[in-house]
Amino acid sequence: LETSIARFGEAPSIVVHNAGWAYPSKSGLEVTTEEFDRVFDVNVKSVYIASKILVPEMKKNGPGSIIVISSENVFRPGDNQTWYSASKAAVSLATKSLALEFAKDQLRFNTVCPTSGNTPLLSTFAGDANGLVTEEIIRAKGAAIPIGRIAEPSDVANAALFLADPASSLISGAEIRVDGAHSV
């Protein structure tokens, strides 16, 4: 916030919350307390803290768009990702609540809900905590998605760009699925 104000003279009018963390796939009862705390701290609490700091400043400047990167797990819980799925559901519902609360201030809140993506997090969902995304993992995950491939970072970025654009000025409280029909 301070950097934006120093550089541009005001708070940002567009914010993308893109923090995310997941533990290696396992039963919800095998997740440690530390993993549980971290998944909620990174995936939910970070959005709370950023909103608490940014929204009051954004309200001063008029129309704004806050985009939260969530997950298709909001609609289709991930196998052996109980608490990750719960954290993404929490942040998606909070985003809808914020959309209602701040619509009068011309602040729009939306979520982008991607399927498995070509990022280091993909190896974690595949049960490999080393962060290496192999062609084998990409093929296996892509085969489970009706459109036949995983999400690329540009797929998620394009959805966020749409939600940031004034052309989407009446869209608030939406969950944009970027999942190749995986959660249908």
Per residue in 53-107, pLDDT (tens digit) is 999 999 998 899 999 999 999 998 878 999 999 999 999 999 999 999 999 999 9
pLDDT at residue 38 in the model: 98
- Strand 64-69: give its sheet, edge to edge: 14-17, 64-69, 107-114, 175-178
The whole-model pTM stands at 0.90
Strand partners, 16: 67
Say if CB 113 and CB 72 are below 8 A apart. yes
Distance CA 116, CA 4 (A): 31
d(CA 180, CA 184): 9
What is residue 77's predicted lDDT score, i.e. its pLDDT? 87
Number of helices (H), then strands (E), in the chain: 7, 4
Axis-axis angle for helices 82-102, 33-40 (nearest 10): 30
Cα(74)–Cα(57) distance, integer angstroms: 29
Which pLDDT score, from 0 to 100, does residue 132 have? 65
Cβ within 8 Å of residue 164, ≥6 positions away: 14, 16, 65, 67
Question: What's the mean pLDDT in 156-172?
Answer: 97
Which amino acid, residue 59? K
Give the residue extent of every domain in the chain. Answer: 2-178
Positions marked active-site: 84
Domain spanning 2-178, CATH class: alpha beta
| 115-159 per-position pLDDT tens digit | 888 777 776 666 665 666 677 778 888 888 899 988 899 999 999
| ∠ CA 9-16-111, rounded to 5° | 140
